[in-house]
């Protein structure tokens, strides 16, 4: 298990109105990640901040490219950095 990291991602495509936030929250919870997911002001984007083990973040990032049924992911812009440790769980709609 590596040192905790932070993944910040912007998912673009048909990702709002298709259950994407709930789906991402479920995937993150399965991977024991903390952070948040929320719709962006741009109706074609969802923003994610997740913290946890680097291998689990790799898996989440891979799954972000898939999205839930009904979604059409066109792009995932992701960056990594050190974890802040400020999140207790993974939530929807919180920064």
**What CA–CA distances, in Å, run from 67 to 1, 26, 71?**
26, 12, 6
CATH code for position 20: 3.30.70.100
Q: Is residue 60 part of a domain?
A: yes
The string of pLDDT tens digits covering residues 20-62 is 999 999 999 999 999 999 999 888 999 999 999 999 999 999 9
Catalytic member of 4, 6, 14, 21? 21
The catalytically annotated residue of 14, 39, 44, 80 is 39
In a domain, 89, yes or no: no
Q: Is 32 noted as a catalytic residue in this protein?
A: no
Separation between Cα atoms, residue 57 and residue 71, nearest integer Å? 21
In a domain, 90, yes or no: no
pLDDT value of residue 43: 87
- pTM of the model as a whole: 0.92
- The domain of 33 spans 5-81
Domain count, the chain: 1
- Kindly state whether residue 91 falls inside one of the protein's structural domains: no
Of 41, 40, 47, 42, the closest CA to residue 9 belongs to: 47
């Amino acid at each position: 298990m590596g040192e905790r990291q932070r993944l910040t991602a912007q998912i673009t495509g048909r990702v709002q109105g298709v259950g994407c936030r709930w789906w991402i929250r479920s995937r993150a919870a399965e991977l024991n990640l903390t952070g948040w997911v929320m719709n962006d002001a741009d109706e074609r984007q969802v923003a994610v901040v997740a913290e946890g083990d680097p291998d689990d973040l790799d898996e989440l990032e891979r799954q972000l490219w898939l999205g839930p049924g009904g979604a059409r992911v066109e792009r995932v812009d992701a960056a990594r950095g050190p974890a802040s440790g400020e999140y207790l769980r993974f939530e929807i709609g919180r920064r």
